[in-house]
A and B are shown apart, each in its own frame.
Chain A
Amino acid sequence: MTTKKLIQVAIAGNPNIGKSTFFNNLTGSGQDVGNYPGVTVEKKEGLRKYKNIEINFIDLPGIYSLSAFSEDEVVARNFLIENKPDVIINVIDASNMERNLYLFTQITELNIPIIVVLSMSDILKSQGKVVDTKEMEAQLGVPVFNTIANKSTGIDKILDCLVSYSKNNKFKNQTRAKIDYGKDIKTEINKLDILILKSKNLSKFPSEWLSIKLLSNDPLVLQIVSKADNGTNILKQLKQSQVHLKEHLKKLETDLINIRYKFANSIVKIVIKKVYTQKVDISEIIDTFVLNKYLSIPVFALVVYIIFKFTFSFSMPFIKIFELFFNKFGQLIATIIPQGPIESLIVDGIIGGISGVFKFFPLILFMFLAIAFFEDSGYVARMAFVMDKIMNKFGLHGKSFLPLMLSTNGCAVPGILATRTLDSKRDKLITMFVVPFMVCGAKLPVFALIIETFFSVKHQTGIMFIMYLLSMAIALGVAKLLSKTILNGEISHFIMELPPYHLPTLKRLFLKMWERGWLYIHKTGTVILLTSMVVWFVFEYPKASVNENLSQSEQATIQLKHSLAGKIGKYFEPAFKPIGMDGNNVIVLLTGLIGKELIVSTLGTIYAIEDNDNHQSLKEKIASDKNWSPLKGITFLIFCLIYMPCIVSVSVFFKETDSSFKWLILLVIGNTILAWIASFIVFQLGTFLNLGA
């Protein structure tokens, strides 16, 4: 039996050039998903077996350089330097080659074999230009392949190259192009090189790259070198080198960048051939309207409205079908299994809990589809720019809009992780605090259920839209409060590259919708089954004594009071009474701490236990409950919107704040107190004015 060889291949490149799509094409769709385009902040891995060789692909966050300006760049850089992959696939946007080759000039100094993959060749072609790949190979000294991001063209050739190179050990002898820094700089690099090679601690780093980074005054590299065994000697030499070079050069850091760009420019001039004159650039025409002084905000509002209209209009029939299916399924199971605790557990506990959440699955899928369309088209990046001025007024950075967007209808976890794209710690912290206020995919079913229960069909979309606006207003208000108090400071600079517009392919959109939908099911499904059973148990046990003179609903009320949940609810009830919540609502809100989607499933379980009439939907059961009113519904939603985020979000928040207990306490307690105050005002004011009671 032949042993399989494992090659580790890192995929690096600039942001928004279709790296993740290329990664999916290489590894096969449905691999490890969870990152979002333009905001890939954590590396992801995928294994591919090809011709008896196992290839482990690692997709790194998009970076412009290895200078570690923001946290996502640090993730990519640290991986390349510390893990030393066998090969780096440098994805280069053919339509924007000079800037992309700038990264190549830095990667080539890492002393790791490289394969260059050209993406967006179709866009370059539409500009009337083509790339001479043979010439490019000769100039760079590395294999060059042409691909189109949305299609899997050329993937086999790349895999063949990886296999044949690894089998024949060709990578070791790869003679990559070297940047000519000039005599003066080269002499100083060599001097530093000799000292670095003598150090045992620095032996794992590529010495040439380390020397250049030292000359560029890279803070992280300076930190590493200062801790090395002969660090003082190296730093002494560095000072001498910098003094010497300053006599000849104006500004060393900028000069090094200039030299790299000169190299990139010379390659572009050689390898890009003009075939015919450029056609009209569609991106320019669209941007004339979308980023226009007067039209940018109305276009933004229109896009948000289209996302809502599309989601709610198309998902409603499917929600009704799902609801009907779960009702009939519950009835069917009830007829098959004899009455008793097992029947109650399956019908009331499991089916009651799961159906509550999963009937809203179409709503989430359609929302994902609509957002994926605008993400893939390139508009979401423009949204950040359009929102910058407004965000600034509330102490947030323009880029903060992207984490908020990911959290809206998605999940707060990728939203919190996406704050890594922000350059300053202050901006990152404020954004992390406000991300959980958005209406995430887990809160969406709660909102849909309550709004559907208490408001007519005509007003449902409008009320939902108001709730979204309210979540945004709370997030912005809290951001303003934080920026004026404990996180006072200046907002960092806003600078961002806008990707050209693309027409998204249907395959990509549906794949993305399904991937994110599956992530939602996976996250929800793992906890929902167990929690539904636990919720059923705490509501069913201990059993109250049966009194045959009482009606079924009276018996259920006694059981509820006697149960474990009833006792827990009663314990917390006094604190929640001023905001109109009873013991049952307290239990519902407590389970919501595990995951907000569990709020609906717990409501489903409670009402299935309370009322054995399975012909009624959960909506109808809540509507007929005297303890509920439209005012209480709205108060409940406001509390759900603001109070402590779910455990997963809290743990990610804790990790991202460098395990700071101070910020953790502020998030957990601060949000809950804020939720209570807001709910109290709404409920008491509503009661006083006799609104919706």
Chain B
Amino acid sequence: MSFIKKITKQIYEYLHKHWIKVHFQKFKSFNKHLSYNDTVKLSNAVPGFYKFSATYCNDKFANRLSELGFIQNEKIIVIENKCNKSGVIVKVKGSKIVLNHQVADKILLKRK
């Protein structure tokens, strides 16, 4: 019995360390960003001028976004939101980029 308890404890500790804790930490910091009045998710942003603030996604995709111009304090113009009931059209570094709702939901913008 004690053996099962030990195993269960180890599994719980492993999950807590590698998934739950990490997940909630990320989520906490994400919500902290939202608590500021001047911050908005791209998926909720009405057309207008913004500045890029942060992303909440895996490193690989965050790097791709950075390479496309989503870098700290970069000017972002939201042209159309919920186009075709899903995507967002933005202008970054002079070019027009379209993102679907799932991506837009992970991007934080600051109101200019």
Query: B79: which A residues are within 8 A, CB to CB?
Result: 284, 287
Q: Which of B63-108 contact A (CB under 8 A)?
A: 63-69, 71-72, 79-80, 82-87, 89, 93-100, 102-103
The contact string, 1 if C-beta is below 8 Å from chain B, for chain A 474-514, is 00000000000000000001111110100000000000000
Partner of A98, one of B67, B83, B89, B94: B94
A385 to B63, CA, bound (A): 22
Within the complex, what minimum Cβ distance (angstroms) separates A591 from chain B?
A: 43
Are A296 and B84 also in contact (CB < 8 A) when A96-B93, A99-B95, A498-B97 are?
A: yes
Which of B2-10, B17-25, B30-38, B54-62 faces chain A?
Answer: B54-62
Interface size on B, residues (CB 8 A): 33
Query: B82: which A residues are within 8 A, CB to CB?
Result: 293
Taking a contact as CB atoms under 8 Å apart, the answer to whether A69 and B60 are in contact is: yes
Taking a contact as CB atoms under 8 Å apart, the answer to whether A398 and B93 are in contact is: no
A388 to B66, CA, bound (A): 23
Q: Is A553 in the interface zone, CB < 8 Å from B? A: no
Within the complex, what minimum Cβ distance (angstroms) separates A622 from chain B?
A: 43
Partner of B99, one of A65, A102, A296, A494: A494
Partner of A254, one of B63, B87, B97: B63
| B interface, over-half SS | mixed
Residue of A nearest to B66 (CB): A257
Taking a contact as CB atoms under 8 Å apart, the answer to whether A385 and B59 are in contact is: no
Within the complex, what minimum Cβ distance (angstroms) separates B97 from chain A?
A: 5
Query: B87: which A residues are within 8 A, CB to CB?
Result: 385, 388-389, 494
Taking a contact as CB atoms under 8 Å apart, the answer to whether A257 and B63 are in contact is: yes
Query: B94: which A residues are within 8 A, CB to CB?
Result: 95-99
Are A493 and B71 also in contact (CB < 8 A) when A69-B64, A296-B84 are?
A: no
Partner of A385, one of B68, B71, B84, B85: B84
Are A494 and B67 also in contact (CB < 8 A) when A98-B93, A292-B83 are?
A: no
Q: Sort chain A's interface into a size bin.
A: 35 or more
Query: A297: which B residues are within 8 A, CB to CB?
Result: 84
Query: A371: which B residues are within 8 A, CB to CB?
Result: none
Q: Is A67 in the interface zone, CB < 8 Å from B? A: yes
Taking a contact as CB atoms under 8 Å apart, the answer to whether A398 and B69 are in contact is: no
Query: A283: which B residues are within 8 A, CB to CB?
Result: 96
Taking a contact as CB atoms under 8 Å apart, the answer to whether B83 and A495 are in contact is: no
Taking a contact as CB atoms under 8 Å apart, the answer to whether B67 and A497 are in contact is: no
Partner of A64, one of B60, B68, B100: B68
Taking a contact as CB atoms under 8 Å apart, the answer to whether B86 and A257 are in contact is: no
Within the complex, what minimum Cβ distance (angstroms) separates B27 from chain A?
A: 18
Residue of B60, B80, B100, B103 contacting most chain A CB atoms (<10 Å) = B100
Taking a contact as CB atoms under 8 Å apart, the answer to whether A389 and B84 are in contact is: yes
Are A392 and B96 also in contact (CB < 8 A) when A254-B63, A261-B71, A495-B103 are?
A: no
Partner of A261, one of B65, B69, B99, B103: B69
Taking a contact as CB atoms under 8 Å apart, the answer to whether A495 and B97 are in contact is: yes
Q: Is A126 in the interface zone, CB < 8 Å from B? A: no
Query: B65: which A residues are within 8 A, CB to CB?
Result: 495
The contact string, 1 if C-beta is below 8 Å from chain B, for chain A 111-155, is 000000000000000000000000000000000000000000000
Interchain residue pairs A-B with the least CB separation, the first 4 = A494-B100, A389-B86, A257-B66, A498-B96
Which residues of B pack against A, CB within 8 Å? 57, 59-69, 71-72, 79-80, 82-87, 89, 93-100, 102-103
A96-B95, A388-B87, A493-B61 given; 9 more Cβ-contact pairs under 8 Å: A254-B71, A258-B72, A385-B87, A493-B100, A493-B102, A494-B102, A497-B95, A498-B96, A498-B98
